[in-house]
Structure 1
Amino acid sequence: MTRKIYKPLSAFGVHCMLGGYTLLALFPIVLILINAFKTKAAIFDNPLAFPTAETFFLGGFEKVIAKSHFMLYFGNSLTVTLASLALILLFGAMAAWALSEYKFRGNRMLAIYMMIGIMVPIRLGTVSILELIVQLNLINTLTALVLVYTAQGLPLAVMILSEFIAQIPKELKEAARCDGVGEFKIFFQVILPLIRPAVATVAVFTMIPVWNDLWFPLILAPGEETQTVTLGVQQFIGQYVTDWNSVLAALSLAVIPVLILYSIFSRQLIRGLTSGAVK
């Protein structure tokens, strides 16, 4: 009897904890969304209240879209994020395949070197990175951001993907080789489809830091034509006066790609997390 009572109670406690964490994580997003459609006076009067007929206001969205270069900033962020994501997933999967499948001198040391990239923040090398970008004449270009973000995301991608690739049965790969399938075809036609949950996990974990980053756009690409969303929003924040309607409207629009990506890869992300936990 005690066990029968204990199991529902423990499950109920777990669900309560998860529900509380979900509310805590969603609260800032909901707060931004509901205040983006309110007048400035209503925002400060009652920030937790939903917009009403008297407080509903779209002036922030009109100013962001019509009177600023927000769409340019949005396009820059989208370009940098998608390009970085593509390079991280491609090179990360290929490096993980090489480290997991082929044994060569320095294999373990190379894997450890990749792991150090996770422990050491890339921002510690900002000065050296800036000097290198200047020498390559890439300052104020989106290419500079793509290269930095690719280097930043590769260590985590290699670590996650190599663990999943190591779990694939050797018999499957050997059977493909016996049929005369080349290594590239084995990788693209056999390995990649089997690690889709891990790829989705890496994509979500990689995209969010890149999309939200302010540090490297401010240092490497602060020009008017290369600003990202996070940097462009700063124009509405002043030392003495802040246009909160425009700031909240810009943040609301900036959340859209993250929500779309998560809705697309949510099932694969959950599969990747649960598979990683079991393994």
Structure 2
Amino acid sequence: MKSFFKYAFVSLFAFLSLYPIFLMIMSSFKTKKEITTSPLGLPHRFSFDNFVEVWNKVNFAKFLGNSVWVSVISVLIILFISSMAAFYLARFNYRWNGIVLFFFMLGLMLPMKLAISPLYMQLLKLNLLDKLSGLIIVYVAGHISFAVFLFFGFFKTLPKDLDQSARIDGCNNFQVYYKIILPLMRPAMATVAITDLIKVWNDFFYPLIFIKTTEKGTIPLGMLSLFGEFDTQWNLLFSGLTLSSLPMIIAFLFASRQFIEGLTAGAVKS
């Protein structure tokens, strides 16, 4: 009986989590009239007309390319810089390590949106306003603190004997990081990659502030054109949201095992 309630609770939680996604996908096949008259029902017929129309109407391919470029480059830079910084802080004992770590932790305590005006003026002076490179720099600066915090804790769980053994075999510090430590931190890397990728991919605030040219916008900014002053094209909006969600769903499915291992790392003492 206890197992029944446990599985019933888990099934209910899974249903509540997955139903909005299911409803979004089903609504993407509906006409605008069907969404209005039967918002929770199934579509009368499955047609890809909405997807073709939204792809052509809002220049979805251009927005998709911008989102992929910004998201992938931002996450790669975050992983590279934060993993090396955390490796230094966790494996080398210097008196200023605590100050440097506290500096990174300030990024978790103070949200960047509070400094949006100085940040805007800084990008303007650096001639990075209305450029995807400027947007990438903002995302790297905003998300690197969480990555350093997670990697630092993960490195602390690895025995330092690994480093010493590698150095005896002739490895320098970078080779210890690249050849020994990096392969062991795939769960943590997957956790940071998926978390930051979803945040960057779905972000609407920073592109709205820093990107002025329509052709340089990301998908969330492109979907804004479907909201009219007096009317909203809900069928095209749901189709666009479905298309924009597919890369994230695919990425999570590929990295889900490593992601779960990263979340549970250290939870069980061996």
Same fold (TM over 0.5): yes
> Secondary structure in 1 aligned to 2:214?
coil
| Partner of residue 100, structure 2 | 110
Asked whether the equivalents of residues 39 and 57 of structure 1 are also in contact (C-alpha less than 8 Å), the reply is no
CA-CA distance at 1:253 after TM superposition: 0.3
Give the CA deviation at 1:13: 4.1
1:137 Cα offset (Å): 0.5
Counterpart-to-counterpart distance in 1, 2:30 and 2:84: 49
Taking structure 1 as the reference length, the TM-score comes to 0.92
Deviation, 1:112, is: 1.7
Distance of aligned partners of 1:188 and 1:147 in 2 relative to their CA distance in 1, 3 Å threshold: same
Aligned pairs (5 A) from 1:51-66: 51-53=43-45, 56-66=46-56
Alpha-carbon distance in 2 for matches of 1:275, 1:13: 28
Q: Residue 216 of structure 1 corresponds to which residue in structure 2?
A: 206
Normalising by structure 2, report the TM-score.
0.95
Aligned residues: 269
Q: 1:154 Cα deviation (Å)?
A: 0.6
SS at match of 1:218: helix
Query: How do 1:29-40 and structure 2 match up within 5 A?
Result: 29-40=21-32
Distance, in Å, in 2 between the alignment partners of 1:236 and 1:181 is 56
Deviation at 1:19, TM superposition (A): 2.8
**Cα offset, 1:88, TM superposition:** 0.5
Paired with 2:124 and 2:196, the residues of 1 have a C-alpha distance of 26
Question: Which amino acid counterpart does residue 22 of structure 1 have in structure 2?
Answer: A
DSSP 3-state at the match of 1:77: helix
Which amino acid counterpart does residue 73 of structure 1 have in structure 2?
Answer: F
Shift of 1:25: 2.0
Describe how 1:81-92 pairs up with structure 2 within 5 A: 81-92=71-82
Contact (CA 8 Å) 2:89, 2:152: kept in 1 or not? yes
5+ residue gaps, structure 2: none
* Alignment pair present for 1:46 and 2:46: no
Q: Deviations over 1:241-271 (max 9, x none)?
A: 1111111111010001110110110000111
Counterpart residue number, 2:91 = 101
Q: Residue 162 of structure 2 aligns with which residue? A: 172
Which of 265, 269, 272 is the matching residue for 2:259? Answer: 269
Q: Secondary structure at the match of 1:278?
A: coil
Q: Offset at 1:105?
A: 2.4
Call closer, same or farther: CA 1:18–1:184 in 2, change over 3 Å. Answer: same
Q: Deviations over 1:206-233 (max 9, x none)?
A: 1111111110000111311210000000
The correspondence for 2:247, drawn from 240, 246, 257, is: 257
CA positional deviation for 1:39? 0.9
Paired residue for 1:121?
A: 111
Tell me, yes or no, if the aligned pair for 2:91 and 2:160 is still in contact at 8 Å: no
Which residue of structure 2 aligns with residue 23 of structure 1?
15
Distance 1:16 1:121, change over 3 A: farther
Task: Give, in whole Å, the separation in 2 of the partners of 1:191 and 1:215.
Answer: 36
SS of 2:215's partner is coil
Does 1:131 find its partner at 2:121? Answer: yes
SS state at 1:225 partner:
helix
Percent identity for Structure 1 against Structure 2: 36
State whether structure 2 residue 57 is matched by structure 1 residue 67. Answer: yes
